[in-house]
Every structure is written in structure tokens, then in C-alpha cells.
Amino acid sequence: MIDIHNHILPEMDDGAENIQESIEMARKAVEQGITNIIATPHYYKGKYDNDKEKVEGQTTKLNQVLSDLEIPLKVWPGQEIRISDELLKEYDNNNVMALNGSKYMLLELPSSHVPRYTERLIFDLQMKGITPIIAHPERNMEIMKNPHLLEELIWKGAYSQITAGSITGKFGWRTKRFSKYLIHSGLTHLIASDAHNIGNRGFQMREAYELVEKNMGQEVVDAFHVNSENVLYGMKVKELFV
Ligand SMILES: [Fe+2]
């Protein structure tokens, strides 16, 4: 199993506080059946200045520790990038990166709304060969009220990723119900943990996939798995038909 959104790198953001916590998270990931993680610390200028170079350095260090401990998990570099009108400049300056240096970029919207420049930004990124993935749209207040906003971004070429805990009900029944709706409507393409720790923001990937399997069938689960693999290796993500 591949997890494309995760805060396992130590001392970067509100995820793992230190290397010990990263190791504990890695052990939990393996228990869940996860073999590969794209580490996506927040990149939010002025708050979390985790630029590409820093992420790559920390990823290399963590992989070395995991290998020394014989924990069978491979970590790849990425970022969860808070959108801003400076993002293209940040990309040109090599501060922000696509997931594992592929063509997919994980974007975080504010939780309360969808900024009006988002559509334009998605277009501009695609002009640079980057395909945006909207992180956890099911937790965005404005999208919850008006799913058409997400639909427009998907039509314009973006993909979206639902958080496993949203599917299991960790973020409440409204988010759970909305997640189901997004999968059924073909408005999402990926499931990831967005794990921050081993406590209240753990993985829940296995539990989420079990629920998807129960409600929507093994084919849908397989399609999600294939898409995660395609993101990791920069191949084409496919639409889901539920
Ligand atoms: Fe995240």
C-alpha cells in the first residue's frame, strides 16, 4: 500500500516531533500494510518554511534510520503546499516541488473557503507541466456547501485526495457522508492518511479501504491503489467510475 500524504518527517511541522516519533509512525505504517510513503510536510511560507532541499535532506536521513532498524518502509520526498499567489514564483525558485519530483503537486486550500485565484493557479501550474492534487476537499467548508466548486477544479484538470480518517468517520458524520458522496460522484481519485502522529491523527488507511471495499467493491479499492502508485511514479492518474 502507498500513502501519498503524510507528516512523518521529524521536526518539520505539526507532524512527527522528533525522530523517535517518526520511527513509531513508520512501525504503525508497516502494521497497516504500507510499503511506501510520500512525506509531505507543510510548506506554508512564514509558518512552515520546509523548502525542497530541506525535505529531500530529511527524507534521506529518515530512510537511513529506517534501513538501519530494518523497518521495511521507503519514504519519498514531497510537500503539502499551501496555495498562494506566489506559488509559481516559489516553484521557479525551487522552493516547492512535485510529489517525489514527479508531475503531481499536493495543494492545501484554506479550510474555510476556496480562494478565487485557485482556478487560475491550476491552469498556470498545468502550463508548467504540473498536475495539482487538491488535498482533503471533504474538509473544506465552502466545498461542503457547494461541491460544484470542486467539480470546476476537477474539470479544469486537477485531481483530489480524500483523507482516510474522513472515510472512517474520524472527522464527524458530515465529513464521512460527504467523502462517500465525492467518491460516488467521481470527484476524487486518491486516498491517503495525512497522518501526523500515532495518536489522534494516525493512519486509518486499512480501515478506510475496508469500508470502501464493503460499500463500493474491490474494483474501486484497486483503482485507488493504482492511482497512488501512479502518483508516486509520475504516471497517469485515472478517473474513478463508481
Ligand atoms: Fe497534511
Question: What span, in angstroms and rounded, lies between the C-alpha atoms of 206 and 185?
Answer: 22
Q: What is the whole-number distance in angstroms between the Cα of residue 185 and the centre of ligand 1?
A: 23
The dihedral formed by the CA atoms of 159, 192, 107 and 200, expressed in degrees to the nearest 10: 150
**Domains with residue ranges and CATH for the chain:** 2-232 (3.20.20.140)
Q: What is the whole-number distance in angstroms between the Cα of residue 126 and the centre of ligand 1?
A: 22
Question: What span, in angstroms and rounded, lies between the C-alpha atoms of 96 and 86?
Answer: 11
pLDDT tens over the chain, length 242 residues = 999 999 999 999 999 999 999 999 999 999 999 999 999 999 998 999 999 999 999 999 999 999 999 999 999 999 999 999 999 999 999 999 999 999 999 999 999 999 999 999 999 999 999 999 999 999 999 999 999 999 999 999 999 999 999 999 999 999 999 999 999 999 999 999 999 999 889 999 999 999 999 999 999 999 999 999 999 999 999 888 76
Q: What is the whole-number distance in angstroms between the Cα of residue 213 and the centre of ligand 1?
A: 24
Question: What span, in angstroms and rounded, lies between the C-alpha atoms of 138 and 180?
Answer: 9
Q: What is the whole-number distance in angstroms between the Cα of residue 196 and the centre of ligand 1?
A: 8
